[in-house]
Amino acid sequence: MLKSKLTNTFTEILPGDPNLENSRRQVLEAVYSFVNPIQTSNPSLLHVSKEMQEELDFSDNDIRSKEFLDFVTGNVVFPNSKPYAMCYGGHQFGNWAGQLGDGRAINLGEINHWAVQLKGAGSTPYSRSADGLAVLRSSIREYLCSEAMHHLGVPTTRALSLSLTGDEVLRDMLYDGNSAYEKGAIVSRVSPSFLRFGNYEIFAARNDIKNLKTLVDYTLKTHFPELGKPSKDTYISFFQEVTNRTLDMIIHWQRVGFVHGVMNTDNMSILGLTIDYGPYGWLEGFDFGWTPNTTDRQHKRYRYGNQPNIGLWNLYQLANALYPLIEDAKPLETILESYKTNFETKSQNMMRLKLGLAKELDSDIDLIMALEHNLHASETDMTIFFRKLSEFQKEHPEDGIQLIQDAFYVPSEIKDTILSQWNQWFLDYATRLKDEDTSYDQRREQMNKVNPKYVLRNYMAQMAIDKADSGDYTLIDELYQLLKKPYEEQPNSAQWFAKRPEWARHKVGCSMLSCSS
C-alpha cells in the first residue's frame, strides 16, 4: 500500500545534513537532517480525517490496517521513506533566536504532492533540551483545529490522523514547577509544504547565500511555478505573492475571531497557511487586546488586534532574508508599504461582508468603528453576535438589542450609556441597509456564509480533552463532525451555539494556554 505512494522530492533535491547521528547540534549548510521516529510501546488510532484520507488515496481497508497505524505513528520506516527534520531559524517574540528547526516534527515524505509529517514522534537534532514528544491534550487541539479551520475557509495545514502512543510523557503544563505525566500522542499533519519564513532566515543569518538561493529556487519551481524561472524579478514576484497570501490568511483569522497566539517567524508558512496550532483561541468576548498565550500575557505582542501588524513585521524579516538575492531594497519596501494599504481595504471589505453590505460607502468606516466600540464596551460574544445579526430587520431597528441578547456575557450591564449607544448603532445600521438592493433573505444568506455558527471554542476542545483523558474519545468525533459544517444551522447540535460557560472563564485550557505540549 504505502510502498508505492511515498516519494521524497524534498530530500532528493535539497542539500541535507551529512551527519546521520541524532544529536543536538548546530546544522550548517543543510535544509534538513535525516532522523527516524522513535518506537512507541502500544500505539492506537483514535481518529482519521475522512477528507484527507481520500485526498491521499487511502481506502477504508487501508486505515484499518496495521501498516497504516505503523505509518502514522512512525513505528515502521518503510523502505522508500527517508524521514527527516527541517532546519530553520526564527524571530521569537521579536528577537532573533538562531537555529530552531523541527524539534518534534518528523517528515516522512510526500503522497500525492502532500508532505506528510508526524508531530510528537521523537527527538531530532533540533530538539534542543526537549524530548520531541507530544501529549494528547495538545494533539487533540491541533487535530481538530486544523480541520476546523479548513472548513471555515481559512488557509491552513491539514491533519490526517490522531493516535495514542501508549507511552506517558512528562509535562509542566503551566510552567509552574508542577510536572505530571500525560498520555503521549502523535498527529499526522499534511501540507503542500511545511516551509516557514525561518527556513530562509537561517541561511541569510549565516550568510549562506548559496543554500539560500538553492532553497528559494526549489520553492519557486515546486510551489510557485507560475512565477517563472528564478531571477531577481521572479524573487520580487515571489515576495509579493507570499505577502499577499499572508495578508489574506490574517484577514480570514480576523473574520472568524481566531488568535494564533505564537506568530513567531518560524510559525509563518511560506504558502500563507495557518501552521503550528499551539496556544491558539477564538474570541469569546470581542477584544482586540486578547491573547490566548500565557507566555505573552504581559506584553500581548500576539493579541487579536495586533495580528495584522505582526504579519507585516514578520514579512520585513523575510524581506531581509531574501534581500541578498535581490540586492535592491526599493521593490521590497514598495511591497511592504502596499501591505498596509491593502490591509485597510481588505479589512473594511471583510467587515462589510460580515455586516451584509454589498455596496462600498465611505461612511461604512464610521459604522464599523462604532460597532467595534460597542462590542468592546459590553463583553459581547463575537460569534453569536454576527450570526444573530443576520436576522436583523431594517424595518424594526428597535428590536436590535433584543435580537443579540444571547451574545452578552453580562446582560444586566447593557443599560444607560451602553444601551443608548447600541440603540443608536442599530438605527444607523438600519439606515445603511436601506442603501442596499438585496432582500432580507439574500442578506441573511450572504452573512451566514462568512459568519460561522460554530467554532472550536477553547472550552469545547477542553471538554474533549477531559473525556479523552478518562478514555472516552467520542467527543473528538462529535466536534470533528460539527466543525465540518460550521456555517450550517445543524439544529441537533445547537447546544454548541452558546457563550463560553462561566465555569470556563478562568479554567486551565479554556481561557489562556501555555506552549507546553
Retrieve residue 367's grid coordinates: 459604522
Of the candidates 17, 266, 364, 381, the residue annotated as catalytic is: 266
DSSP tally for the chain: helices H, then strands E: 17, 12
Q: In which element (H, E) is residue 106 found?
A: strand 105-111
**Structural contact between residues 374 and 422, judged by C-beta atoms closer than 8 angstroms:** yes
User: What nine digits make up the cell of 177?
Assistant: 514547577
Strand partners, 91: 96
488 near 146, Cβ under 8 Å?
A: no
Per the CB < 8 A criterion, the answer to whether 272 and 196 are in contact is: no
> Inter-axis angle of helices 209-223 and 197-205, to 10 degrees?
160
CA-nearest of 312, 94, 250, 280 to 291 is 280
Residues 373, 365: contact at Cβ < 8 Å?
A: no
Is residue 266 annotated as a catalytic residue, yes or no?
Answer: yes
Phi, psi of 24, deg, nearest 5: -65, 130
Task: Give the integer Cα–Cα distance in Å for 17 and 394.
Answer: 65
Among the listed residues 32, 103, 40, 35, the one whose alpha carbon sits nearest the alpha carbon of residue 71: 40
Active site residue ranges: 266
